[in-house]
Amino acid sequence: MEKKKLKFMDFCAGIGAGRLGLQNLGLECVGFSEIDKNAERTYREFFGYEEKNYGDLMKINPNDLPDFDLMIAGFPCQSFSVIGQRKGMNDLRGQIIYGLIKIMNAKNLPYFILENVKGLTNHDNGRTFKIILEELDKTGYKVFSKVLSSLHYGVPQMRERIYFVGIRKDLIENSEKFEWPKQEKTPKIENYLIDDSELEFDEKKSAYETFLRFLNNKYNKGLFKIEDLLKEDYLVLDTRQSDLRLYTNKVPTLRTGRHGILYVKKGKFRKLSGFESLLLQGFPKSLAEKVKGKIADIYLLSQAGNAMTVSSIQSIGNNLLKYVKE
Ligand SMILES: C[S@@+](CC[C@H](N)C(=O)[O-])C[C@H]1O[C@@H](n2cnc3c(N)ncnc32)[C@H](O)[C@@H]1O
């Protein structure tokens, strides 16, 4: 039986990784909300300049939104510990999650997928997570949550995130459970580290000098030989902590700041590029090529570091569709 084509809205849209995951399943995006102008520029390069950005979701009047069936949001992790400072519930209402809940309520929304950092689960001794689950439950949703790593859902990136799937209580039996997608084999990293633009990390550049000093700091001194490191093609080097961390067939979690991920290719060190970081978040080459050389790498690396993984959302969305009643 053919499923109804679900409509969704993309909140805290970033560069639209969540959107793409759902579009790949045939769902239709009817609008987005994002406050960061740089992220919006990349988003528009990917998805077009015509659509309306509804802007700050905390200021949206839900009546101004089109109708939709599903909300997707990778909402920022904000501190809920104001409770501890006896500031009371009113202050909490300023949190993004309450803005999202207000929209869910007003729209009597059937479904949502939310994403956040894994640390949310033990933030403030687990209190933040508990409050979010209780609030979503009170709003009328059966909520399922699970930490999944992108490594098992289509990209060679270690990226553990907490996902929330919400189904309005009248649309799911009380005894029914959401079935999380099964783990898949991690694809080969060779297909992701493919940026052959100018080598940014050769011996002549000052970044290389900095790297040599890093290898000689008190944590790394004597542990690594350059010629050994250079022997292994696609060895990934993470220089973001004081100690050098090495990975094979995967990259560590891409993050907004501190970009220092390098890898070895054909006997040279290379810096992970913005283009490659988009691929490692599941964006297809055709989209990543649209912004390569057009939007500076410093932005693309940050934006990819902030994004969801397209293929993880696609897998979760695919399973959510099984619960969609005609
Ligand atoms: C963790 S990122 C999520 C990125 C996105 N899910 C993606 O795949 O690229 C959170 C995003 O929420 C946006 N944001 C924060 N507060 C917002 C608000 N009040 N209204 C709309 N967007 C907001 C930030 O600018 C940021 O891009």
Place of tokens 């940026």: 195
Would you name the residues annotated as active-site residues?
77
pLDDT(84) > 50: no
- CB-based contact 124:130 (threshold 8 Å): no
For the chain, the average pLDDT equals 91
The CA distances from residue 80 to 73, 134, 156, in Å, are 18, 14, 33
Q: How many helices (H) and strands (E) does the chain have?
A: 11, 10
- Comparing CA positions, the residue from 22, 24, 128 lying closest to residue 75 is 128
Q: Average pLDDT in the 67-77 region? A: 92
Instruction: Compute, in angstroms, the gap from residue 302 CA to the centroid of ligand 1.
Output: 12
Q: Counting atoms of ligand 1 from 1, which one is nearest the CA of 18? A: 8
Which range is least confidently modeled, 50-59, 108-117, 254-263, 301-310?
Answer: 254-263
Q: What is the pLDDT of residues 235-270, one digit of tens each?
A: 999 998 899 999 999 999 998 877 789 999 999 999
The protein residue whose alpha carbon is closest to atom 5 in ligand 1 is 14
Q: What's the CATH superfamily of 7-185+305-321?
A: Vaccinia Virus protein VP39 (3.40.50.150)
The predicted model scores a pTM of 0.94
pLDDT(59) > 90: yes
How many other C-beta atoms are found inside a 10 Å radius of the C-beta of residue 277?
26
Q: Average pLDDT in the 135-146 region? A: 97
* Boundaries of every domain in the chain: 7-185+305-321, 198-272
Instruction: Compute, in angstroms, the gap from residue 10 CA to the centroid of ligand 1.
Output: 10
pLDDT(16) > 50: yes
Place of tokens 């011996």: 203
pLDDT(78) > 70: no
pLDDT(104) > 90: yes
